[in-house]
Chain A
Amino acid sequence: MIIPPSSPHIAGPNSVQTVMLMVLLALLPGTMSGIYQFGWPALFLFLITSASAVAFEATCLKIAGKPVSFFCMDLSALVTGWLLAMTLPPWAPWWIGVLGSFCAIVIGKHVFGGLGQNLFNPAMLARTILLVSFPLEMTTWIAPRPFGTPQSLDVSAGWSITANGIPNLDAVSSASVLGHVRTEIGMGHQLPDILVSMYDPVASAVGSISGSLGETSAVLFLLGGLFLMAKKIISWHIPVALLGSVAVLAAIFHLIDPLRYGDPLFHLLSGGLMLGAFFIATDPVTSPVSSMGKIVFGAGCGLLLFIIRNWGGYPEGMAFAVLLMNAATPLIDHYIKPRIYGHEGSAIGRYFRQLKRG
């Protein structure tokens, strides 16, 4: 007998594919701006990383005996590769991209069982592995050389950097703002003096600073993130909690000691915070499912990020912060759930409901 399909008989507009497509669309402006700033090598690295991520995905699916074309169509591997590329130094050699994709897709995703099964954000896991294993390549930043300016490289020079590495490192390298601040503060200098020479909020916002592709244009990634929110692809909870907690912490410490700690704007515009808050921490698979859980997750990321930035061993802590909160996600999901209709719920929930009723 044919058992007819069960209700509902209509479906909402979003599919995994459209969700991923929207994410890619939202990433596009920031990515293009980054590539424009850093020229051909950045473009090559970006293409190599994204393409190898898809290739690893296909290989893993084949080995696992799953339908390759069906799953590759969900675009999730492309998003992972793309996000990873956003966090690499733009002039890093090709093998950094390929190795990173391998770590992300094979170790970070398929070892756990494929789409939806991984505990850690694959792109952040890969970035962390690379950072620990190849600290030199992963911390070589260059100053922007936009296309069309005299310093920009032509195609073949650009390709040779991606293929063979940067020939004369010292001549081009330039510390990122966060890295520079950390070194100088370590040397006992005061923050305002340090920043005078190199920090310009406008440059940070539009992205004409050194850093990874995703660390440059804070404004464009912010806009991309707002687009995703407007399209209801991501909810506001994680980004707002993350950015909010960073801003609040920054404000407090800036008030306490402005000579040592940057103001909220400095923190919000620096590093990959916008990219991280809107595109990385919001990865559905590795973040909590409930709204309340998402707020806790976002605030946790912000807190950890702030701690690592100011007192940890690395100038930028997005990857570590996200990974640590990823590990806490099962716990958050277990303890923070919505209250079921008609049930009493927790004592805290009851208290807040009473407050609301007045």
Chain B
Amino acid sequence: MAGFPIRGGVHPEERKLTSDITIMRVPTPGRLILPLKQHIGAPAKPCRVPGEIVYKGALVARGQGNVSAHIHAPCSGYVEDIIDWPAPHPSGLPTKAMVVINDGREIREDVSVPVNPFYLRPEVIAERVAQSGVVGLGGATFPAAVKLTLGQSHRTPVLIINGCECEPYLTCDDRLMQERTQDVMGGISILAQALNGPETIIAIEENKPEAIRLMHKAAEKFGNIRVMPVPTRYPMGSEKQLIEFITGRQVPAGKLSADIGVMLHNIATAYAVNRAVREGKPLTTRIVTVAGEAIVRPGNYEIPLGMLISDLLEFCGLKEDPARIVMGGPMMGQAIPHAGIPVTKGCNGVLAMSAAEVARRVEHPCIRCGTCVDACPMGLSPLTMARLLMRDKLDAAVDIGLKDCILCGSCSFACPSGIPLAHYFNYGKGELVSRAQQKQKDDEIKRLILGRQVRMERQEKEREEAMARRKAEIAARKAAQAAAEQADKPMEVA
């Protein structure tokens, strides 16, 4: 089936050099750093104290609030400490993290017993997914169980499984589909079951013929699951673009895909869901593509969460000092300031790029060529937005669509003048967030001030009332006295 055309996009060199390299398990290092926020939403709250012994798979931090996810120990050993540690964020600012020491004994403690998912009700599936701390593993890190519940409350007749992997370099989803086809398929059928059997479409970019073939074969025995090859074009794997390509409909601005009846999950998420629901195993490892010209042994590695990138790079070997270390793919990944940052749930790639490899283009003035306009999959005018943001006109940029930007980087990639357009949008969106936070704070303060005022007014009023009452009482008493005296007088007279 041919899809519906999507707008814009670019064709970066694929460089998927690791697509033939079998997934390999990386030995768990002696010390793991588990950030308490590896997902979208509130950070998890530690439920183990330093010194406490933990087994592999044990719950160590509990998700808080509506949108959050549990975190489990990837090894057996003990909790050493809860500390501040640099997070995978460009600023490298620290967040809370739990340090777990590996005793190497690999004693397991799974969240629950294996079951046959075929007999589970949708809510139970979502519950088991939640218990295992599964989040969107394509990079979005939205808690998978929350998404399932959302899909259950909306009617979602279409489930799209995203196996596009449109980022250059990355091959971890490709390998997963090739090597663990049955497990991935199992996960997909569980997700479908959790959504009451929607029409399920597995989208895979055409540059992965082997994965398409195997998944197609595996899907044959399911009635309503099919594989759909999609054109190789960045950012085909972006949620909104993929939905449009497959369904021909766009997710209206400010709405969720569930609002138009579509649910989207990633291949790696499906795999993790299978392990969680069928085997009762929590999410403690993930498959990561390690690549880049500075790496000696690039490949696809199954890595315990919390392993430091420096340990990982040591394991894979470095030819040279990398010019840039990127977590994720080269188009949307995050450059990290140093290698002392742990692998987290959302990390699908670690790239150690050589100086020759990274784009180091000198910036020229904008020549208004319109390349960025053509490249933008969202139909924005990047040059205009960037010009406004350079002059700090945030509101004007929002007016022409800053909030719709998905930060895919297509515009920056294509710009012949080497203008870091997406960088400005990232900055602008950051400003919007901090502005919203500031507003929340201001509102809070306003509320407090207002509350105090109201309280004081009330107290004042109460005081006045009390005083008035007392006055009234006194007056009444005086009047009574007077009345009594009056009453006495006639007697006297009499």
Contact = CB atoms under 8 A, between A and B. Distances in A.
A93 B331 CA distance: 53
A8 B370 contact: no
A164 interface: no
Most chain A Cβ neighbours within 10 Å, of B358, B362, B367: B367
Interface string B345-371: 000000101000111011011111111
Interface in A220-268: 235
A10 B335 contact: no
B347 to A, nearest CB: 14
A340 interface: yes
Given A16-B367, A116-B366, A9 B255 contact: no
Most chain B Cβ neighbours within 10 Å, of A18, A290, A343: A343
B168 interface: yes
Interface stretch (A46-54, A142-150, A281-289): A281-289
A340 B377 CA distance: 9
B370 A289 contact: yes
A9 B373 contact: no
B259 to A, nearest CB: 11
A343 B401 CA distance: 10
Given A115-B364, A294-B370, A10 B413 contact: yes
Interface stretch (B95-103, B152-160, B206-214, B414-422): B414-422
Nearest to A282: B369
Contacts of A287: 368
A1 B335 CA distance: 14
Contact of B381 (A6, A8, A11, A337): A337
B330 A9 contact: yes
A30 B253 CA distance: 49
Contacts of B193: none
B416 A9 contact: no
Given A4-B336, A70-B362, A290 B12 contact: no
Contacts of A342: 240, 250-255, 404
Interface string A1-24: 111111111111011101100000
Interface string B16-36: 000000000000000000000
A264 to B, nearest CB: 29
B483 to A, nearest CB: 80
A338 to B, nearest CB: 4
Given A284-B368, A341-B250, A342-B250, A9 B333 contact: yes
Given A16-B417, A291-B374, A341-B7, A7 B409 contact: yes
A179 interface: no
Interface in B378-421: 378-381, 383, 401, 404, 407, 409, 412-418, 420
Contacts of B226: none
Given A8-B412, A10-B413, A11-B413, A16 B373 contact: no
Contact of B335 (A4, A12, A115, A294): A4
B17 to A, nearest CB: 14
Contact of B370 (A16, A290, A343): A290
B424 to A, nearest CB: 9
B333 A340 contact: no
A343 to B, nearest CB: 5
Contacts of A284: 367-370
Given A340-B401, A342-B251, A7 B332 contact: yes
Interface string B78-92: 000000000000111
B426 interface: yes
B324 interface: yes
Interface string B27-52: 00000000000000000000000000
A149 B361 CA distance: 49
Nearest to A232: B371
A-B pairs, top 10 by smallest CB distance, nearest first, are A11-B359, A289-B370, A4-B335, A8-B409, A284-B369, A338-B379, A342-B253, A6-B423, A116-B365, A14-B416
Interface of B: 7, 10, 12-13, 90-92, 168, 240, 244, 250-255, 324, 326, 328, 330-337, 351, 353, 357-359, 361-362, 364-371, 373-374, 376-381, 383, 401, 404, 407, 409, 412-418, 420, 422-423, 426
Given A341-B7, A342-B250, 18 more contacts: A5-B423, A7-B326, A8-B409, A8-B413, A9-B326, A10-B357, A10-B359, A16-B367, A114-B365, A115-B364, A284-B368, A284-B369, A290-B373, A291-B370, A338-B7, A338-B373, A341-B240, A342-B251
Interface of A: 1-12, 14-16, 18-19, 70, 74, 76, 114-117, 235, 284-291, 294, 337-343
